[in-house]
Amino acid sequence: MGTSKSATLAAPEHSTEHIRRLAAGTLMPGFSGIAVPVWILDAYDAGLAAVCLYGTNVASPVQLRDLCAGLRAHSPHTLIAVDEEGGDVTRLHYLTGSPQPGNAVLGRLDDVTLTATSAATIGQELASLGINLNLAPDADVNSEADNPVIGVRSFGAEPDLVARHTAAWIRGLEDSGVASCAKHFPGHGSTTSDSHHELPRVSADAATLEARELVPFRALVEAKGATVMTSHILVDALDPENPATFSSRILQGLLREELGFDGVILTDALDMAGASADTGVPEAAVRALQAGADLLCVGSDTGPELYEQTLAAITEAVAEGRLSLERLADAAARVAGLSARFPAAGAAEIHQATPRGISSKPGRPALDSAEADATLDAGRIREAFEVSAAAENWLAREEPVAIVQVDTGANFAVGQVPWGPAAATDAVVGEGEVPDGAKVAVVGRGLDGDHPLWTVFSRLRAEGHAVIAVECGWPRGGADIVTYGASLGVSQALCGLLLGSH
C-alpha cells in the first residue's frame, strides 16, 4: 500500500521523493468518519508524522479503541494526537461530557497536586488508547472576561497562578507517558474575537505581555514541556504584520532564542480563518514552516485532496528556494524525536486496555455515577463555585426545585458536547413545564447582557417563582451561581447543590 518506506528512505537527499517524505514528517491531518480511511494509511507509509483525532471520530468507546488500535498496528511509532483538555474541551468524552473539572475550576481551587492528578488521570486514559500527544494544557491568562474562545479553558486571570498550574498539568500528563502541548503561544487570553472565525489582534504593549501573557510559557520552558502550540493572532508589540504562527520574530526570536524552548513547535489548526482565510491551507503550511513551526495541524476534515495539496506546496517551496531544505529537515527531525521520546502502547495492549473514565453504558450517566470525576469529589468541585447571598437564600427555601437549561452555543473548540445539568440529570424541564410553586434555577453559559437566559429568568420571576441564574462558564456579571465550567463532573456537582443531594 503506497510507496515502501525502504525505497523512500533510500532516495537521494535532494530528490523530490526525499523532500516529500520530510514534508509528510511535519504534517498532522485530521480525517472524517469513525474508521481509518485508506488515504491516511497510504500517507503513513509515505512518511506521515501524525494524525489528530476529533470528536466526530468518536462513536463509542469500543469504536474509539479499535480506531486507535488500527492506527497503531499500521504505524506503531508515529504520533496520535487529541484535544483532551478536560473540562469543557473533550474528545474522548465527546458523547457524554468529561468527568474532569477543567482548568478554571482547578485554578480556583489552587492546589497544584490536584491539577497534576487531574492531568495524570487524563494521561493514563490517553495512554491506554495508544494516544501519545495531548493538545493541552491551555496556558492562556484569561484577562478578558468576554473572551469568546478561552474562558474556562484557562486556569485563571492571574499570571503566576496560571504558570504554576500549567507546570503542574504538564508534569502530571507527561509522567503518564503522553506529550503535552501548552497553548496558545504567545497568549490568546486577552482577545475578544475567535481565531477560528477571524484574525484577532492583541494591542497590549511589550511590558504587559512580559508580565502577563509570557509568564506561563516561561513556566512551560522550565518544566521542559514537550510541545507548544502557536496562535493565529496578531500581536502588535511583537510583530504587527505576521500572525504568531507565521512570525519568525515570535517563534524563533522570542520562543526559541529568548525563552529557550527546545521542544516541538506545533501550529493551531491551519484550516482556521485566522490562519488561512486569505491564503488557503497549503500556503499557510509553507509560511508556518518558514517561521519556525515543526508540526502542522492541518485541520479536522483534511481529506486526501487537501493533504496532497499541502504536501505538494511544501515540496514546491523547497524546490523554489522559499523554504530551505535544512529548515524542513530540522522540523521533521524534531517531530521524529518527539515520537521517540513518547512511545505509545502497541495495538495488542490497546485492545486489552480498559481506559479510565470511558463508559460503555448507553444513555445519560446517572448523577451519582461511579464513573464521575476520578480526581475530585463533588463537594471539592463545589468549593470552586461562586454562590451569592441570593443563591444561598434560594437554596435554603423549602419549595420543590425546577431546573431550566437555556440552549447556548459553544465555540468551535468545545463543539457539541453535552453540558450543564442536562448532561447530568433527567430533572431538567422546559420553561413551560415548571410546576406551580417551584423555585427555579435557570442555567446558561456566556451570560452577557443579551443572552436569552435573562428573558426566561424575567418571565419565570413575573409568574411568581423564586428564580436564580446559574452561569456554567466564565463570569460576566449578574449570575447568582458561577460554576467556572460545564463538564459532566462540574455539572454533577452543580446538580447535587441545586437538588439538595449534597
DSSP β-bridge partners for residue 442: 404, 469
Q: List alpha helices for 342-414, DSSP H.
A: 347-352, 378-382, 389-396
- Are 489 and 86 contacting, i.e. CB atoms less than 8 angstroms apart? no
77-86 average pLDDT score:
95
Residues 88, 140, 194, 268: which is the catalytic one? Answer: 268
Q: How far apart are CA 322 and CA 146, in angstroms?
A: 40
Between the two ends of the chain, the Cα-to-Cα distance in Å is 57
Per-residue pLDDT tens digits for 14-63: 789 999 999 999 999 999 999 999 999 999 999 999 999 999 999 998 99
Per-residue pLDDT tens digits for 50-63: 999 999 999 998 99
The three cell numbers locating residue 91? 474528545
446-450 average pLDDT score:
92
Statement: residue 215 has pLDDT above 70: yes
pLDDT at position 194, please? 64
pLDDT at position 242, please? 95
* Predicted model pTM: 0.91
Statement: residue 127 has pLDDT above 80: yes
pLDDT above 70 covers a percentage of the chain that reads: 90
Mean pLDDT, all residues of the chain: 90
Catalytic: 268?
yes
DSSP state of 133: E
Q: How far apart are CA 141 and CA 483, in angstroms?
A: 18
CB atoms inside a 10 Å sphere around CB 143: 21
Q: What is the DSSP string of 249-310?
A: IIIIIIIIIIS---SEEEPPPTTSHHHHTTT-HHHHHHHHHHHT--BEEEETT-HHHHHHHH
144-164 average pLDDT score:
93
- Are 118 and 381 contacting, i.e. CB atoms less than 8 angstroms apart? no
CA-CA-CA-CA dihedral for 344, 345, 350, 354, to nearest 10:
-90
CB atoms inside a 10 Å sphere around CB 326: 9
148-165 average pLDDT score:
95
pLDDT at position 502, please? 53
The least confident of 273-277, 331-335, 421-425, 475-479 is 273-277
CA-CA-CA-CA dihedral for 283, 285, 290, 292, to nearest 10:
160
Going from N- to C-terminal start, the domains of the chain cover 25-352, 378-499
For residue 53, CA distances in Å to 99, 238, 245 come to 19, 32, 21
CATH, domain 25-352, list 3.60.15.10, 3.20.20.300, 3.30.2010.10, 3.40.50.300: 3.20.20.300
Statement: residue 7 has pLDDT above 50: no
pLDDT at position 8, please? 42
Per-residue pLDDT tens digits for 96-118: 999 999 999 999 999 999 999 99
Per-residue pLDDT tens digits for 310-354: 999 999 999 999 999 999 999 999 999 999 999 987 656 766 654
Q: How confident is the model at residue 446 (pLDDT cuts 50, 70, 90)?
A: very high
Statement: residue 266 has pLDDT above 50: yes
The three cell numbers locating residue 461? 420571576
